[in-house]
Amino acid sequence: MKTLKSRKLIVAAIAAVGLIVNDLFGRPVSNETIYSILGIVGTYILGQGIADAGEAKAKMIAGGTAVAKAVKDVIAGASER
């Protein structure tokens, strides 16, 4: 279900539906315009993917920091005995 809420998927779907609807109503779009739209959408998706990867990395680092702190606390508690 998380995939269906993805901004990347939503943007790609809107672009595809927009181009299909435009074609169905007989208002042809030039190839240059289609390539421009696809380039913008592709760039957005790539940028969003990079941002998502950075966010995942930050969460992983934060989780690693919490684990390191817990290990340090356990070691400190063991040395007090």
Q: How far apart are CA 32 and CA 41, in angstroms?
A: 14
Domain boundaries, the chain: 3-79
- What's the predicted TM-score (pTM) here? 0.62
Residue 12 burial by CB count (10 A; 0-12/13-18/19+): exposed, middle or buried? middle
pLDDT in tens, the chain (81 residues): 566 678 888 899 999 998 888 888 887 788 898 889 889 999 999 998 888 888 877 777 777 776 667 767 777 776 665
